[in-house]
A and B are shown apart, each in its own frame.
Chain A
Amino acid sequence: MTVLARAIEVSRRYGDVLALDRVSLDIRAGELVGLLGPNGAGKSTLINLFVGLRRPTSGVVELFGGSPGDPVARRGIGVTPQETGLPETLRVGEIVDFVSAHFPDREDRGELLARFGLGDLVRRQVGGLSGGQRRRLAVALAFAGKPRLVFLDEPTTGLDVKARRTLWEGIRSFHEDGGTVLLTSHYLEEIEALADRVVVVGSGRVLADDTVRAVRDIVGVRRVSLVAADLPELPGVLGAERVDGRVNLMTTDPDRLVVELVRSGTPFSGLEIRPTTLEEAFLTLTTKESAHA
Chain B
Amino acid sequence: MPELVAAHTRLFLLEQLRVPVGLLASSLFPAISMVAFVVPFAGDDPKAATMATGSMMFFGAMAGALINLSITVAQDRELPWNPYLRTLPAGPLPRFTGRILATLAGTLVSIVPVLLVAAFLTEATTTPLRLLLGLGALVVGVVPFMLMGLFIGSVMAAKGAIAASQVLFFPMAIVGGLLLPPAMLPDFVEVISPYVPTRGVAELLWTVTAGTTPNAVALISLAGWTVVTAIAAAWAYRRDEGRRFS
Taking a contact as CB atoms closer than 8 A, the residue among B3, B18, B83 that contacts A90 in the complex is: B18
Q: Is B80 an interface residue (CB 8 A)?
A: yes
Interface status of A82 (Cβ within 8 A of chain B): yes
- B89 near A103 with CB under 8 A, answer yes
A72 and B89 contact, CB distance less than 8 A: yes
Q: B129 contacts the other chain (Cβ, under 8 Å)?
A: no
Cα–Cα distance between A292 and B86 once the two chains are bound (Å):
40
Interface CB pairs A-B, < 8 A, 9:
A54-B246, A55-B246, A71-B90, A71-B91, A82-B80, A82-B81, A97-B7, A98-B8, A102-B90
- Given A81-B80, A98-B7, the answer on whether A53 and B15 have CB atoms closer than 8 Å is no
B184 interfacial contact with A, CB 8 Å? no
Q: A2 an interface residue at 8 Å Cβ cutoff?
A: no
Nearest A residue to B19, CB-CB? A89
For A125, the chain B residues whose CB sits under 8 A away are 18
Contact status B81-A81, CB under 8 Å: yes
Contact of B246 with A101 in the complex, beta carbons under 8 Å: no
Task: List CB contacts (< 8 Å) of B2-40 with chain A.
Answer: 3-4, 7-8, 10-11, 14-15, 18-19
The digit string for B228-246, where 1 denotes a CB below 8 A from any CB of A, is 0000000000000000011
A84 to B10, CA, bound (A): 22
Interface residues of B (CB under 8 A from A): 3-4, 7-8, 10-11, 14-15, 18-19, 79-84, 86-91, 245-246
Number of interface residues of A (CB under 8 A): 29
Query: Chain A contacts of B10 at CB under 8 A?
Result: 98
Q: Which of A's residues lie within 8 Å of B, judged by CB?
A: 51-55, 71-75, 77, 79, 81-82, 84-87, 89-90, 94, 97-99, 101-103, 125, 145
A87 and B15 within 8 A (CB): yes
Residue ID in chain B nearest A99 by CB atoms: B88
Residue of B nearest to A86 (CB): B81
Going nearest first, the 6 A-B pairs with the smallest beta carbon separation are A85-B80, A81-B84, A89-B18, A85-B81, A101-B7, A82-B80
The CA-CA distance from A35 to B89 in the complex, in Å, is 24
The answer to whether residues A53 and B89 also contact, given A89-B19, A90-B18 and a CB cut-off of 8 A, is: no
Docked pose: A73 CA to B87 CA in angstroms: 10
Query: CA–CA, A79 to B84, complex, Å?
Result: 8
A145 CB contacts on chain B under 8 angstroms: 89
A73→B89 CA distance, assembly (Å):
8
Alpha-carbon distance between A145 and B15 when the two chains are bound, in angstroms: 23
- With A54-B246, A81-B81, A82-B81 given, can you name 19 additional A-B contacts, CB distance below 8 Å? A53-B83, A53-B87, A54-B245, A71-B90, A72-B89, A74-B87, A74-B88, A74-B89, A77-B87, A79-B87, A90-B18, A94-B11, A98-B7, A98-B10, A99-B88, A101-B4, A102-B4, A102-B90, A125-B18
Give the Cβ gap from B21 to chain A, nearest Cβ, in Å. Answer: 12
A84–B80 CB distance below 8 A: yes
Q: How far is the CB of A259 from chain B (nearest CB, A)?
A: 52
Residues of chain B within 8 A (CB-CB) of A103 are 89
Task: Determine which residue in A86, A97, A101 has the highest number of CB atoms from chain B within 10 A of its CB, and name it.
Answer: A101
A82 touches B84 (CB 8 A): yes
State A270–B18 Cα separation when bound (angstroms): 65
| A168 to B88 CA separation, bound complex (whole angstroms) | 24
By beta carbon, the residue of chain B nearest A71 is B89
Q: How far is the CA of A99 from the CA of B19 in the complex (A)?
A: 22
B79 touches A85 (CB 8 A): yes
CB <8 Å contact, A94 and B14: yes
A75's partner among B82, B89, B91 (CB-CB below 8 A) is B89
What separation, in Å, do the CA atoms of A82 and B79 have in the docked complex? 9
On whether A102 and B11 interact (CB within 8 A), knowing A54-B245, A54-B246, A87-B81, the answer reads no
Closest to A70 in B: B89
- Verify B14–A90 contact, CB threshold 8 A: yes
Most chain B CB atoms below 10 A, which of A85, A90, A97, A125:
A85
Are B246 and A52 interface neighbours, CB within 8 A? Answer: no
Closest to A90 in B: B14
Q: Is the CB of B89 within 8 A of A85?
A: no
What residues on A are CB-neighbors of B14 within 8 Å? 89-90, 94
Q: Inside 8 A of B245's CB, which chain A residues have their CB?
A: 53-55
**Do A102 and B88 touch (CB < 8 A)?**
yes
A129 to chain B, nearest CB (A): 15
Asked whether B89 lies within 8 Å of A102 as measured between CB atoms, the reply is yes
Shortest beta-carbon distance from A255 to chain B in Å: 47
Q: Report the bound CA distance from A184 to B9 in whole Å.
A: 33
